[in-house]
Structure 1
């Protein structure tokens, strides 16, 4: 039926079912679509969009999808298949390179020119790319970059990581880069040459192309949880568009929010990425980034050596001063000891002389004391007392009579006088009218 319909279109007479006259083969439909597209787009068109799924082929052709820009992680609203044949690719690459080191890559917003075609073998509309407007890409990149920098500054993130203090000995390093890249090799080689005992945690990361933004953010998130002194984000050289991930807002915010200083060595001599702006320090190459760390540790070691020498000198000076002080003290102690000994010797001599004369003085004092006692004893001698007129009266049994009660009436008494004894008997007792009054002796002469 399809063949009969096709023959009818070519002018051959045929009897065809009216229903079959409206039925097209796949080839017929594709041909009509192709004709319709050719009529709708007789000339080449300019189209803007974002490159996704960029891939090359062995024959030098390039294929990708041009999609309507959207939010990261959300499906785009529209896409168009694009092919760039080898001949046109050389022209496009040359134009981009002359415009400032650009190159076609994923997530790059472009304005391209091409023919709208219908690719019958796969039944899809395709744009056959023939040219590109690099000024659009450069302008879009610059505008997006400036807008992002303004947002980061408004949020206080532009210098947040730069304000962090870098430890004087940053030995624990988190290295965010592709593990098999020349950037990783250069960075690690520079560290090894220093002879320092580094501790490097390598976080294997895709740093360009599709998924590079997500990889970078994920690696930085992991690094933020590790006990590190510093994080280095490095990659080798490349075109300006190879570094587009480092101008992405998600990467910039991840770097700015890191708890430790972040160093970048992104390997581009001309442009400064947004990642460079928010990092603690930015370097042109991975080697320069590693060299900075080596110099930091080297300065610390030099400072330690200088402090050690300074401490040794000050210690020697302090010891010299203390030695002189001890010597002076020893001299003073020796002099003081001699003086003390001399004073002690003089005192001992004086005490010796005093001790030598002590017995003589003691005997003299004892003699005087004995004489005084002798005089007191003589004064108290009863015979001398009696001689002065006093008497001593005793009862017959020898008891002294001191009171009237000691000699009641009829008591026999013996009274001693100076030249003998008088015997008597008590016939009466006359008490003194005032016992407190001492009538005194015969001559009132008391010892």
Structure 2
């Protein structure tokens, strides 16, 4: 029996396993999953009896349409790889598909569920569409048949509208990001509406309108957005987020633009209705005038005028008498009131003059500058007024007459008899 080192055995196992299991397909349930910051995906799958460790490198992870979640039932295409330093093997995944359904279908459901939870589909946030848009931004492929269909319908229905075409890729790598940028730019152009979409195709062809970048751009737009992608049977994420979903691009223009011919017919009908209504009103007015004329002719208009004239004259005379009587009453009241007011004012003036003289005399008596003439002064100690009898022998104090301040000291103190 040949003796082998651990490394040699691991290398031999590696070569045998990797050569034997070069292209395999494994089905199982996701037991654990880790999206590493490096971009690699580390996960494990299991059945009712065992578990298998797996890895998918960053280059393959970037091509996955859906996000791997714990508990998903999946099918893995790949090969077995052995890490010889630890003697461990794992399944190196190249492609992962949901078991029993396509990856795109699962990706669609996952994104739909995520955006619905964020409120992207709420009916309350849908913006109303203007009835007569003047400017519409079309975010689509300039060379596509969908654009020509939309232009044709717009010229037929409402030639007054201005159409701004923003050329973007609508399928393939990077198309979703380009559509999102186109919508964001269209939102700055002052358009009344934004229409984004393309003609029909396979699920893969239409997939750009199922990307989260496009959904974010539609949700963030202040301008109402119409999603017009594919055919009527096609339903995409952009349809749920947009303010209006149109079954086809040409149908979108039919839905958002009024029909000029129909509007002209409506105006003609309204004109006819107005003409009939005016004729009816004129006929009614003529009948009323005729009845009024007959009533006037049947009455004695002159007699009524004379009666009214006499009534006005009588009322005028009565009114003048009443006015003269009321004025005479007021004239009798004015003179006593005038005398009473004059006496009251004179009395108040006399009293105010006496109060003023009394206050002036009191001010004069208490004015320090006047009192100083009589030989009087204030006694102050530490800024406070003091009674002279409270000053002690030897204590220093101040004398002030309002104009001069003198510092002094008590040399002797005796009461006056």
TM-score (norm 2): 0.50
TM-score (norm 1): 0.47
| Structure ID, larger Rg | 1
Greater relative CO, 1 or 2 (CA 8 Å, sep 6+) = 1
